[in-house]
Structures are given as structure tokens and as C-alpha cells.
Structure 1
Amino acid sequence: MIAIDGPAGSGKSTTARLVAQKLGFFHLDTGAMYRAITLKILQHGVDPKDHRQLKKLLAHTRIDLKWQAGKLRVFLDKKDVTSAIRQPAVSELVSPVSAIGLIRQKMVAEQRRLAIGKNLVCEGRDIASVVFPKAQLKIYLDCSLAERARRRQQELAAQIPRAQVEKNIRTRDRLDSSRRISPLRRVPAAILIDTTHLTIDEQVAIVCALARRRLQNQN
């Protein structure tokens, strides 16, 4: 198991997906799972701050991830919601929803269920510290704020000023690292990789090399 953590824009999602492809591992996309539960909250009109309603909703929620023809399909209660979780309304709400304790507990349980019997690569902000603390390889990807803003601006393909993108990322960093439940942090055993001056192919190659070396040592 490979656990990859890091701040927004550090390249962890793309790296995790490509590393999984190269090693023949399952890619557990935690971000898609948080989007799925956010979608359900919106569909049912549940107030995320109402713990009684939220607990009832979560008790009857199941999220599954399936890779079909190299593409991720997300299933919420057996229904394909791959496209629906990318709606703007979901994007706006997913960050505050993902910080709620009840939801994080549910997602950790779902992520551990999906990991049973699989060799996998999983990325997020609390993977090595909370979700899979016994992962054989722990990676922490970091990157300068300026470079993360440049990458995010390219992803958005929109005319958003670089300064605004940097401000948004800085705010997200502060929220992620200061939240009470499962804050973003680098665990002592995690190998730090600064991706500021690396291409995506280079950082994927580094992680794959580390993974192969770790597997050889175990054998």
C-alpha cells in the first residue's frame, strides 16, 4: 500500500493515478468519495450541521469506486454518479463537508472497506496519519505556493487572476492544516518529495522507484 499526502496543487491526485497504473495497483480516489457524499447531502437537502439528520443519512450510504477501461466510475448507493459529482454545487460545498467529523469517520470506514484485499495507491491529506497508518510506503508531496497556483490556474482554464488563485490555495492550506479533525500533516515516516521543479513524469518515476525498492526489501 502506498499512501500519498500533500497540500492542494502538489500533484498528488495525478501522481497517485499514474503510479497505480504503472504498478498495476488500485487507485483509491478519496476526493471523489467526499464529492459523492456531498452530492447525497445536496440531493436530500440535509443540513450538514444537523448531526441527527446527517447520522441517519450516513447510516444508509455506500460508496464504490470502479476502474473501467482506465477511467474511474463512482457509484453512490449503486448508482453511477461519476458526472454528477463534478457539478459546481458539489465543488462549492465539498471542502466544508469534508471537515465534518461524522463524515470523515464514515469515509475512513468506506476507504478501509474498499482497500480490503487490494494493492493500492491512496492520496489525500490524512492518509498516512489516519486512514492507513500502517501503509508500507508513505509519501508527502510538497510544492511552492507559486507553482501550485500556476498549476491550478491551468487546470481551471479560466481567466482567474493568479493572485486570486494563490489566495484561495493559501486559505485552503490554512483550513486543512488547522482543522481539529484529521489535519494535513507530514508523518515522521513519510518521504518528502518537493515537486516544485519536477514534471509529472519525474515525480511518478520517483514514487514508482521507491515503491519497487520497498517491495524488493520486503521480499
Structure 2
Amino acid sequence: MIVAIDGPAASGKGTLGKRVAAHYGLPHLDTGLLYRAVARDALTQGVDLDDAEAAAKVASALDVATLGDPALRTVGAGESASRVARHPAVRTVLLAYQRSFAYGPEGAVLDGRDIGTVICPDADVKLFVSASPEVRALRRFLELTGRGVAVSEASVLADIRARDERDSTRGAAPLVRAPDAALLDTTNLDIDAAFRAAIDLIEAAMSRAGRAG
């Protein structure tokens, strides 16, 4: 079973992806970490994030074993990732790895921004997770301050809005809800309620397809 979970920044898709994967005993990939890692490596090598060709070369040499790097979870890493993710060449390089992960023998749960539209358009289940920008900003603000990061809620909201704009208007694989993706609005849901709603949607989709979860 392949479950594709898409959505904007801080919508909760990553946490849901992990919990859904654990629930079904499937491998999980947070595809956003790939772009964060490419941006990290590019900056380390002094590569201009807006140089598509150079960024693609960095992507082709990416070591996926480094995706657990805590530095990839910072605000700056997310901002940089959004810049390299605009390049079609970078996305092409990372496409093969994402698909090989998804189409492994066990299936998988992948979360990102183009899983249901580009990476796995034939996924068994597609979810589009969203929430209001204000709620997403508050969640990210609490997450960051909980880790001791000094940041204002206003600046986090501004970053969320800027990333939404870049992700939804970029020419390469823009963030859009796949026509056959079930919408899960988490604005008024805590993570436990969102998880239960996600499982209900997945089970309903599998039932319609004649496959029990």
C-alpha cells in the first residue's frame, strides 16, 4: 500500500506520516528532508541556491544517510529548501529515489508537496492535509520555542505565507491538491484527532478499492 500525504508547511503532514506508517507497519519518507539536505550541502559547498544547474549537481551527490541531521529541522533549512525545490533539475534528480522508496516491496508512506501529483500519481490513498496559516504558524512557533529557538510568532507567520506563495506558484511541481486526494483540514484538530481522521480516510479509501487496511 502506498499512502501519499501532501500539504503546506506546518500542516501536520510529517507527524501524520510517521504515525500512519507506524500504524500500518510501512516505511516512511519525509521528502521535504531531501530538499533541506540538498540546500544544506549546497550552502556548505558555497553553491548559490538560485543556481539550478549547480544545485542539481549537489542533489545528484546527496547522501540520504544524512537525512537525520538535526540541522535540517531549523527555520533556515526550510527557507533554503524552498529555494532549491523550485528548480526542475533538482526535482528530477530526486524523483528516482522517491519513487524507488515508494514502490518497494512493502509499500510506503510519503509526505511532501507533490507526492500525489508527481511522485506517486497512482498511490492507493492520497491525503491533502491543510490548516489555516495562523494555526500552522502557531504550531511551528511552539515547536521552535520548545526547542529553545528565539523567534517571534509574527516572523513565523510571515515565513509560512512566503513559503505557501513559493510552493503554490513555482513552475515545477507546484503544491496543489490532487483531484482524487481526500482533504483533511487539521485547523481545529489536535494530532490525535487528526490521526484518527487520517486512518478513517485511509480505511474508507481502501474499502472502496476492495482492500482492507
Shorter-chain TM range is 0.7 to 0.9
Instruction: State the Cα deviation string for residues 106-162 of structure 1 (Å, max 9, x = none).
Output: 111110122222321111111111111001111111111221111111011045332
**Structure 2 portions without partners, runs of 5+:** none
> Which position in structure 2 is the counterpart of 1:114?
101
Give the structure with the larger strand fraction.
Answer: 1
Instruction: State the Cα deviation string for residues 76-125 of structure 1 (Å, max 9, x = none).
Output: 5xxx7634545776455222112111111111111012222232111111
| AA in 2 matched with 1:176 | D
Paired with 1:88 and 1:152, the residues of 2 have a C-alpha distance of 9
RMSD: 2.3
**Residue range with higher mean Cα deviation, 134-143 or 45-54:** 45-54
Q: How does the TM-score come out when normalised to structure 2?
A: 0.85
> Which position in structure 2 is the counterpart of 1:3?
4
1:103 aligns with 2:90: yes
Q: 1:218 aligns with which of 203, 210, 213?
A: 210
Identity %: 37
CA pair 164-46 structure 1, distance change in 2 beyond 3 A: closer
| AA in 2 matched with 1:200 | I
| AA in 2 matched with 1:194 | D
> Which position in structure 2 is the counterpart of 1:131?
119
Deviation at 1:55, TM superposition (A): 4.7
Q: How many residues align?
A: 205
Paired with 1:146 and 1:85, the residues of 2 have a C-alpha distance of 23
| AA in 2 matched with 1:154 | L
CA pair 13-189 structure 1, distance change in 2 beyond 3 A: same
> What pairs up with 1:63-212 in 2 under 5 angstroms?
63-64=63-64, 75-76=65-66, 82-83=69-70, 85-86=72-73, 90-115=77-102, 116-157=104-145, 158-212=149-203
**Structure 1 portions without partners, runs of 5+:** 65-74
